[in-house]
Amino acid sequence: MKVIIIGGVAGGATAASRIRRLNETAQITIYEKSGYISYANCGLPYYLGGVIKDKNALILQTPYSFLKRYNIDVFVSHEVIKVDTKEKKVYVKNLLTNDIFFDEYDKLLIAPGSSAIKPPIEGIESNKIFYLKNVEDTYKIEDYIKNNRVKEVTVVGGGFIGVEAAENFIHKGLKVNLVEKANQVLTFLDEDMASFAHFKLKQNGINLILGDGVKSFSEKGAKITLHTEKGCKIESDLIILSLGVRPATDFLKDSGIKLNARGYIKVDENLKTNIDDVYAVGDAVIIINSKTNKITTIPLAGPANKQARIAADNIVGKRVSEYKGSNSTSIVKVFDFAFASTGINERAAKAEGINYEKVIISASSHASYYPGAKSLVLKVIFDKDSLKILGGQILGADGVDKRIDSLSTLIYKDGSILDLVDIDFAYAPPFGSAKDPLNMVGYVADNLINGTLKQFDNSDIDELIANHIKYNLIDLRTPNEFMLGSIPHFKNIPLDELRDRLSEIDFTKPIYVICQSGLRSYLGSRILREYSEDVYNYIGGYSYYSFTNLL
Q: Write out the catalytic residue numbers.
A: 42
Question: Over the range 158-190, which residues count as b (16 or more CB within 10 Å of their CB) and which as e?
Answer: bbbbbbbbbbbbbebebbbbbbbbbebbbebbb
Contact 234, 218 (CB under 8 A): no
Comparing C-alpha atoms, which of 83, 137, 113, 131 is closest to residue 247?
113
d(CA 516, CA 129): 45
380: nearest Cα among 213, 95, 209, 190? 190
Alpha-carbon distance of 418 to 292, in angstroms, equals 21
CA dist 71 and 25 (Å) reads 10
Tell me the CA distances in angstroms from 309 to 102, 106, 248, 303, 306, one per residue in order.
Answer: 27, 18, 21, 10, 5
CA distance between the termini of the chain: 60
Residue 198 DSSP one-character state = H
Q: Check if the beta carbon of residue 343 is closer than 8 Å to that of residue 393.
A: no
Give the contacts of 358 (CB within 8 A, at least 6 positions apart). Answer: 346, 379, 380, 381, 382, 457, 539
Q: Which helix (H) or strand (E) holds 419?
A: helix 419-422
Q: What are the DSSP calls for 95-155, one per residue? A: TTT--EEEEE-SEEEE---EEE-----BTTT-TTEE--SSHHHHHHHHHHHHHTT--EEEE
User: Angle CA(348)–CA(349)–CA(353) in degrees, nearest 5?
Assistant: 115
Exposure of 430 by Cβ count < 10 A (0-12 exposed, 13-18 middle, 19+ buried)?
Answer: exposed
Dist. CA 64–CA 69, nearest whole Å: 9
List residues bridging with 549 in a β-sheet.
none
Distance from the Cα of residue 426 to its chain's centroid: 26
